Amino acid sequence: MEGALHFNAYLRALLAARWCKPVLFVLCLLPLVQLVYGIVADTLGANPIEVFTRATGEWGLRLLLVTLLMTPLRRLTGLAQWIRLRRMLGLFAFFYVVVHFTSYLWLDQFFDWAEILADILKRPFITAGVVAFFMLLPLALTSSNAMMRRLGRNWKRLHRLAWLAPAVALLHFFWLVKADLLQPVLYTLLFVLLMLLRLPRRRSRPGAGRPA
């Protein structure tokens, strides 16, 4: 019990530290730095564009899930400071998705808009990716405090998309892989776990179970 209290106090100090957000910022940038370095140094293998597109997509998905972890963490630890990190993580998730989308539009399709439109209509996994992207866009655009105030209760309603977008992104992943389903299955299990952690806890009513 005392150990748990110490751990919570330590965690609180860590999350409140001034360097916490800058460190997280740098950590979130590292995968991109590594990928760009890989392209420049030519260490990404025979198909660097594919590696780049896949890795940025996967980081987008990972960060979406990490963002969704913040509310359960607040609930489990009782520390409101997790929520301070949520916006930055969500914006980084969107940033990786934008890089992922751009790498498809640019490096894969060379901005051939007719070809891109045909691809969106023809390949369901691309359709799902675009749908997920357009679900995240309003969330990124309304992430500021000013927009939060302006939208009031509608802000919360709109931000339910933060749950729908990863679900559609998972569909995008399932439709893309043909044989090895292990990765999308693992991400889906994580997503389901996050949803379960969010379910409202049933309060034990005084007198429940007693005969009437």
Q: 158-197: which residues touch ligand HEM (CB under 6 A)? A: 165, 169, 172-173, 176
Closest to ligand HEM by CB, 15 vs 126, is 126
Return the residue of 35, 126, 162, 171 that touches ligand HEM, per CB under 6 A. Answer: 126
Kindly state whether residue 129 participates in binding ligand HEM, applying the rule CB under 6 A: yes
Q: 104-123: which residues touch ligand HEM (CB under 6 A)? A: 104
* DSSP secondary structure string for all residues of 167-187: HHHHHHHHHH-SS--HHHHHH
Closest to ligand HEM by CB, 79 vs 165, is 165
Instruction: Kindly state the tokens that stand for 175.
Output: 């439709």
Closest to ligand HEM by CB, 73 vs 97, is 97
- The site for ligand HEM (CB under 6 A) is made up of 50, 53-54, 57-58, 60-61, 97, 100-101, 104, 126, 129-130, 132-133, 136, 165, 169, 172-173, 176
